């Protein structure tokens, strides 16, 4: 018999979640998870004890990496627990485990794929010992919440120090390279020197050696601080065990060659190649058959707001989430690669979930919108005026910039022109923009064209 409080915690979690779902609040997982943890603070520790846990953290690509791993598991017919709703804090992780548990506190599955918010890694590792920890990358993101990125990395480093987990690390990120000093077993994944070409951009988060403070030397750069770096003191990129050797644009994503074998990825956006490499590395390390890996990579596609396209008034309306400089700069390149004339609607909110410090917009290369194919930029959201100031400093022609803080009015204005439009919201405006566009599309009787390909070589 499980302890009575464990039983009560599981039961309460289920009941509360159901109740809240019925109330249409959409917060069921968070609140029910918190309640379960109040009733039995050790519940996650108990439930995860018998599980093989794969934890994925880092700034960008956590959700996609976890989804890809989960899809590979499905292809291999291996059942797993997964906090797939993207709730990557302790409460959401707890609920994902409880969902898999019987009322007796026993888990049905043996594997868990867990997306973990970077700052949450510290409490997470006090309760769970993962078999594998994947660290994708670190970019400036919601600095006001996390404090300086170096501090955060140091805290995660100390938390992992006491945990016997295998580390799967992105060789190309000097921030991630800091975890190389840990005694844990480590393997690396990375992009080969001639596999891919990323456009140069000015943003680089980590230009200095974390060991000696000298500037890092780069022979190749991919994007942000990712690339082939080294320092006089000996700090340098590690040779990856899993290397992307070649990548070609395909119909619905990419054809990739990793360690001399070919795979298809059905996702657009070059950053997803790193996510695929991370998922691939994990699957290889736990010896999932290569057929399942191939099928898992090929059959996974997103419908979650990455370059989602709607046809409204016979014009393409493209929606994409932007929430930090690295991701933003990739998106700007993709927008510019679209040869048609277009307008752009930028949404910037500063609610808690967005991060209240919006100074990161100064690290985004908005200067690249200074071209004749961009005929108008509408600034919207609670910080519309800050965006407009940023456009001024980016020397975007004044006549091209409009300020419409109200989100629906901004969209209405954009739709009035019946022309190609890119909508780039940060976190909290995303769902509102999406639902408003869907509503407009339905009344227009057009069809959505999901997963519109806006990929680059």
Binding site listing: 209, 212, 231, 233
Instruction: Read off the DSSP letter of residue 213.
Output: -
User: Measuring CA to CA, how many Å separate 407 from each of 378, 412, 435?
Assistant: 10, 9, 12
List residues forming the annotated binding site for Zn(2+).
Answer: 209, 212, 231, 233
Q: Which of 209/364 has CB closer to Zn ion?
A: 209
303: CB partners within 8 A, 6+ apart:
450, 451
**Least distance to Zn ion from the beta carbon of 218, Å?**
13
| Region from 20-28, 123-131, 229-237, 321-329 binding Zn ion, contact rule CB under 5 A | 229-237
Q: In the set 23, 38, 151, 233, which binds Zn ion (CB under 5 A)?
A: 233
Task: DSSP for 124-185, please give it.
Answer: HHHH---SEEEE-------HHHH--HHHHHHHHHHHHHT---EEEEETT-HHHHGGGGSSS-
* Site string (181-220) toward Zn ion, x via CB under 5 A: ----------------------------x-xx-x------
Does residue 231 belong to the site contacting Zn ion (CB under 5 A)?
yes
- Is 337 noted as a catalytic residue in this protein? no
Per the DSSP assignment, residues forming a β-bridge with 257 are 246, 262
CB of 106 or CB of 214, closer to Zn ion: 214
- Nearer Cβ to Zn ion (208/375): 208
Closest to Zn ion by CB, 23 vs 212, is: 212
**E strands along 58-185, which residues?**
80-82, 111-115, 132-135, 166-170
Q: Which is nearer to Zn ion, 231 or 401 (CB)?
A: 231
- For residue 189, give the nearest of 261, 137, 154, 225 by alpha carbon: 137
Asked if residue 229 binds Zn ion (CB under 5 A), the reply is no
* Number of alpha carbons in the 13 Å side-chain half-sphere of residue 421: 27
Q: What is the closest distance, in whole angstroms, from the C-beta atom of residue 212 to Zn ion in the complex?
A: 3
CA dihedral 28, 307, 344, 378 (to 10 degrees): 0
Nearer to Zn ion, 228 or 254 (CB): 228
**Least distance in Å: CB of 231 to Zn ion?**
3
**Beta partners for residue 215, in sequence order:** 208
Half-sphere exposure of 161 (CA within 13 A, CB side): 9
Stretch that binds Zn ion, among 103-111, 126-134, 223-231, 334-342 (CB under 5 A): 223-231
DSSP 455: -
State CA 344 to chain mean position distance.
22
Shortest spacing between CB 209 and Zn ion, in angstroms: 3
282 near Zn ion, rule: CB under 5 A? no
Give min distance, CB of 177 to Zn ion, in A: 11
Site string for Zn ion, 371-410 (x = CB under 5 A): ----------------------------------------
Q: Are strands 132-135 and 166-170 parallel, antiparallel or unpaired?
A: parallel
Six token digits for residue 163:
């945990």
Shortest distance (Å) from residue 208 CB to Zn ion: 8
Q: How many CB atoms lie within 10 A of CB 379?
A: 24
Q: Which listed residue (150, 357, 406, 412) is catalytic?
A: 357
Q: Where do the H-state alpha helices sit in 49-142?
A: 62-75, 90-100, 121-127
User: Of 139, 235, 242, 254, which lies in the binding site for Zn ion, with binding defined by CB under 5 A?
Assistant: 235
Stretch that binds Zn ion, among 45-53, 57-65, 177-185, 230-238 (CB under 5 A): 230-238
User: Could you give the CA distance from residue 427 to residue 69 in angstroms, rounded to a whole number?
Assistant: 24
Give the footprint of Zn ion on this chain (CB under 5 A): 209, 211-212, 214, 231, 233, 235
Q: Catalytic residue numbers?
A: 357
């Amino acid at each position: 018999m499980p302890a009575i409080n464990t039983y009560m915690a599981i039961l309460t979690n289920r009941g509360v979640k159901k109740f809240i779902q019925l109330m249409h609040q959409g917060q069921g997982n968070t609140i029910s998870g918190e309640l379960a943890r109040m009733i039995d603070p050790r519940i996650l520790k108990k439930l995860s004890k018998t599980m093989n846990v794969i934890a994925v953290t880092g700034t960008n690509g956590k959700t996609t990496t976890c989804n890809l791993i989960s899809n590979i598991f499905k292809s291999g017919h291996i059942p797993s627990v997964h906090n797939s709703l993207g709730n990557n804090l302790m409460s959401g992780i707890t609920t994902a485990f409880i969902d898999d548990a019987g009322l007796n506190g026993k888990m049905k599955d043996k594997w868990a794929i867990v997306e973990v918010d970077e700052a949450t890694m510290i409490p997470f590792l006090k309760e769970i010992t993962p078999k594998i920890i994947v660290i994708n990358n670190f970019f400036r993101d919601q600095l006001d919440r996390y404090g300086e990125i170096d501090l955060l990395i140091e805290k995660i480093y100390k938390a992992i120090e006491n945990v016997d987990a295998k580390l799967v690390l992105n060789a190309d990120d000097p921030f991630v390279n800091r975890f190389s000093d840990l005694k844990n077993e480590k393997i690396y994944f990375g992009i080969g020197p001639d596999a891919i070409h990323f456009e140069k951009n000015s943003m680089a988060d980590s230009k200095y050696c974390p060991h000696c403070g000298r500037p890092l030397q780069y022979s190749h750069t991919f994007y942000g601080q990712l690339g082939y770096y080294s320092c006089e003191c000996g700090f340098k990129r590690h040779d990856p065990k899993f290397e992307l050797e070649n990548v070609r644009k395909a119909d619905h994503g990419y054809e990739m060659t990793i360690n001399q074998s070919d795979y298809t990825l059905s996702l657009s956006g070059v950053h997803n190649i790193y996510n695929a490499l991370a998922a691939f590395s994990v699957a290889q390390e736990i010896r999932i058959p290569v057929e399942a890996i191939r099928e898992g990579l090929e059959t996974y596609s997103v419908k979650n707001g990455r370059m989602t396209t709607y046809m409204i008034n016979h014009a393409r309306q493209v929606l994409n989430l932007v929430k930090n400089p690295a991701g933003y700069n990739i998106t700007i390149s993709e927008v510019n690669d679209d040869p048609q004339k277009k307008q752009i609607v930028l949404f910037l909110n500063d609610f808690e979930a967005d991060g209240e410090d919006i100074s990161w917009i100064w690290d985004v290369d908005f200067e690249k919108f200074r071209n004749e194919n961009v005929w108008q930029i509408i600034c919207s959201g609670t910080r519309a005026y800050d965006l407009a100031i940023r456009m001024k400093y980016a020397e975007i022609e004044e006549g091209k910039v409009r300020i419409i803080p109200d989100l629906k009015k901004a969209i209405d204005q954009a739709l009035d022109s019946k022309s190609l439009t890119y909508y780039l919201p940060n976190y909290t405006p995303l769902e509102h923009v999406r639902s408003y566009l869907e509503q407009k599309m339905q009344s227009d009787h057009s069809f959505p064209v999901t997963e519109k390909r806006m990929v680059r070589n």
